[in-house]
């Protein structure tokens, strides 16, 4: 992959923000520019994760694509969704329908029937 030329951006800080930046720089033992770059990267990563979660919640993307967009593992994305109590919109309904079909076709345990009932309760 060819190396790209860095692009310089500048920002304006009020005196309190500037003093806080200096404090963080000293604490971390990094230059102020390095601290700012770290914060910008963290903010961009958070923004991408939030956008991916919203798209997933709306049913605009699947779990794998959302994780890839956010630059995180599928496990990490699942963990974030679980923290926010977000289940797949249409996928849950399809999953429940599939479980019901399996239950009707092959029979099933009381535990499976209870699981289906719990999932249906959550989605309504």
**Residue 14 CA: distances (Å) to CA of 11, 27, 43, 90, 97:** 10, 20, 19, 47, 57
Task: Please tell me whether residue 84 adopts helix, strand or coil conformation.
Answer: coil
Q: Is residue 4 part of a domain?
A: no
Q: Which residues contact 98 (CB under 8 A, 6 or more apart)?
A: none
- Considering the domain architecture, whether residues 61 and 37 belong to the same structural domain is answered as yes
Identify whether residues 48 and 109 lie together within a single domain: no
| Structural domain count, the chain | 2
What is the pLDDT confidence band of residue 117, given thresholds at 50, 70 and 90? confident
Decide if 1 is inside a domain. Answer: no
What is the span of the domain harbouring residue 81?
A: 13-86
* Non-local CB neighbours of 30 within 8 Å, separated by 6+ positions: 38
Q: Is residue 82 part of a domain?
A: yes
pTM above 0.85, yes or no: no
pLDDT digits (tens, 9 = 90+) for 55-109: 998 888 888 999 999 999 999 999 999 999 887 765 567 777 888 888 888 887 8
């Amino acid at each position: 992959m060819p190396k790209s030329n860095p692009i310089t951006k500048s920002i304006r800080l009020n005196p309190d923000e500037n003093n806080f930046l200096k404090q963080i720089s000293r604490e971390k033992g990094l230059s102020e520019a390095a601290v700012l770059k770290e914060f910008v990267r963290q903010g961009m990563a958070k923004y991408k994760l939030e956008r991916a979660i919203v798209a997933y919640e709306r049913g605009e993307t699947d779990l794998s694509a959302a994780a890839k967009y956010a630059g995180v593992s599928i496990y990490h994305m699942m963990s974030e969704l679980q923290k926010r109590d977000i289940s797949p919109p249409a996928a849950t309904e399809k999953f429940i329908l599939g479980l019901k079909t399996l239950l009707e076709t092959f029979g099933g345990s009381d535990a499976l029937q209870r699981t289906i009932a719990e999932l249906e309760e959550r989605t309504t």
